[in-house]
Amino acid sequence: MKRNPFLLTILLIASVLTTNAQTAQDADTLLWNGKRYAVAVDRCAPSVVMSYFQRTMSETPFESWSLNNNRGHIAKMELIDEKIKLLSVKAMRFRTRTGNLWTETGIDTVVAPDYFLIAPLHSEQPLGETAVEADWYSGILELRLLPKDKKEQKSDEARGTRYLNVVNGQVVDNVFISDKIMAEYQSGRAKLGHDQAKIYNMNERFKEFYLHCASDREAVTYNGHKGLFKQKANGLTLVMEFFGNDPLKCGSSWIGVPSVNGAPFGTWLLHDDSLFVSEIKTHNSSGQHWQQMFDYLADSVVGGMAFGHRRFVHDSCYFADWITGEYVIHYGSWQTNSFGVSDYVVSKTQEIRVKEGVVVSSKFSPRSFEEDEAEMAATSFVLCNEASVRSVEDKQLAEAVGNFKAPKKSPEYEGGKTALRNWFLNRPLTDERAKDRLFRVRIGFMVNCKGEAGRWQVISKGKGELFEFANMVLDIVKTMPQKWSPAEDKKGNKMDCWQVLEFTVSNGTLTNANYK
C-alpha cells in the first residue's frame, strides 16, 4: 500500500503540536524590585491561581484557549514585603458564575482576581485593594528574568534561575542558581551549595508530588466490586481533602517531614451508603509505600478535625466524615492494548454525591450492579412445575397469561405491603414528562415455589406516553429485592403462581403499591 506523504506530514505536525500543548505554557509573570520575571509552569504542578481552586475545592472557571496555554489563564503577580500578591488574571475562554451556577463563555480579557471570586484564605481583604494576597499557595516558584533592555539581558540575573520557597504566600527562601553552575551540576562536574541544593531538591520533590497526583488513581470497593475514583480536574486526591488540600499538612518530605515522601492515596470502601478509608499509599523514589491510617495520621485529630468518630466497618477502616462533594467511580479492568500498553477499560460508571462521608445520591451508567443481578435472576428464572401453575384471580392477568386455578394462599411480599410501598416510594420515575401526571400501572409476574420472581410483563392498558411510563415502572420493578413467599395449595405445598403488582403513579412517584 502506498503511503500518502501529505497525510504523514499532517500527522507529524499534529503529533508535535500535541506534545507542545502538554508541556509549553504561556508564563505567569511576577514583578519584583522593578524587574519582571516569567514563572515556570510544570506539566503537573499547579500555578498559583490553580492552587487556589485546589485548596477551596471550587470548580475551575478556565478553559484551555491555545496550544500554548492548556491552563486557560495567565496571572500577573508582584512580590511585596516577601508576600506574593495576585494582581490580575487574563483569560480568553472562561465561565462566569452567579452564586454557585457557572454560565456562558467569556472573551479575552484581563480582570481583577475578585472577578473569579479569588480571595485570601487566612485574612480579610482590605477595602478598596484589588491585589490579593496569595496566602493559599505553598510550593516552589521558578523565576526567569524577562529583560526590559540590553543591559538587563547581559546581567547575571538573566543567566540563571531564581527559586522562591513559598509557604502560605510568604517567601521563606530565595536562592539563585546560574545556568553555568546548573549545567556543571547536571553533568556531574560540580556540586551545588547547601542552600542551592536544598531548594533545588525541594523543587524536584514538589514536582514529583503533583506528578504522582496526576499519574495514579485511588481504588474503591463497592459491594465487592472494585473500581477507581476518576481523577478530579484539580488533580488532587480524596486523602488530601482531609488536610484541606494543603500540601504543607499532607506529610510529604519536600516540606521537611522526612518520614513520608510523595502524594497520599487512599484505599476506599463504599459500605451501607457511607464512605470509609482503610489504607494510605504514598509514593517515593523506590516505588509505593503502604501505611495504616493510624500510622499515617499519628492520632485521631489533625488540625482540630476529628475523623472516624461516628462509625467504622472494622478496626482499620475509618468513616471519612471529612469528605463532601461530587465524585465519579469507574469500574472495569486493566487490559493490554495492541501496543503493549496497559490501559484501564471502563465498563460501568457511578456518580455519587457525598455529604460528610454519607452518600446522599448515587447514579450508575449504564445501570447498577443490583440491576444487573436482578436481570440475571429474571433471565435465569425457572418454574418448579410447569404442569401445576396457579394464578391469583384477576381479569387483566387472565387475559395476558391465561386461566389457572387459584391457590389456597397467594404469594406475599416478606415484610408485607408496608415494606413494599416504602421500597417503591424511594424510586420515582425520573422522566420529566411524568410530572403533573396521574395514572395507574399493573404488572403481572410469576413467583415460583422457591420465592423467586420472574416473567414480568405490563398487563394494564395504555398507549403512547402511558405505555412508555408503564415500561419505565416495569424496569424499576425488575430491580426489587427477591423477597417473596411462594403460593401454597390446601396441603401447604409450595406452588408456582402468577401474581399482580399495581401502582398509582403521581408526579412520577410510585404510590399505593399493592398485590392480590
Q: Which three cell numbers stand for residue 17?
A: 503540536
Q: How confident is the model at residue 233 (pLDDT cuts 50, 70, 90)?
A: low
Amino acid at 87: L
Residue with the larger pLDDT of the pair 148 and 233: 148
Give pLDDT, residue 487: 96
3-state secondary structure 226-285: EEEECCCCCCCCHHHHHCCCCCCCCCCHHHCCCCCCCCEEEEEEEECCEEEEEEEEEEEC
Cα separation, 159 vs 329, in Å, equals 47
Give pLDDT, residue 364: 93
Q: How confident is the model at residue 473 (pLDDT cuts 50, 70, 90)?
A: very high
Average pLDDT over every residue of 491-506: 95
Residue with the larger pLDDT of the pair 76 and 71: 76
Average pLDDT over every residue of 283-287: 55
Q: How confident is the model at residue 281 (pLDDT cuts 50, 70, 90)?
A: confident
- Between 116-125, 270-279, 373-382, the lowest mean confidence (pLDDT) is in 373-382
- Between 319-323, 337-341, 498-502, the lowest mean confidence (pLDDT) is in 337-341
Nearest to 397 by CA among 344, 461, 329, 349: 461
Give pLDDT, residue 310: 45
User: Is residue 375 classed exposed, middle or buried when 0-12, 13-18 and 19+ CB atoms within 10 A define those classes?
Assistant: middle
pLDDT, tens only, 167-207 = 999 999 999 999 999 999 999 998 999 999 999 988 887 88
Cis peptide before 366, with omega less than 30 degrees from 0?
yes
Pairing of strands 438-447, 358-365: unpaired
Average pLDDT over every residue of 320-349: 86
Give pLDDT, residue 272: 76
Cα separation, 459 vs 365, in Å, equals 28
Give pLDDT, residue 481: 86
* CB-CB contact of 139 with 36 (8 Å): no
Residue with the larger pLDDT of the pair 308 and 272: 272
pTM, rounded to two decimals = 0.62
Q: How confident is the model at residue 104 (pLDDT cuts 50, 70, 90)?
A: low
% of the chain with per-residue pLDDT over 70: 82
Q: How many CB atoms lie within 10 A of CB 223?
A: 12
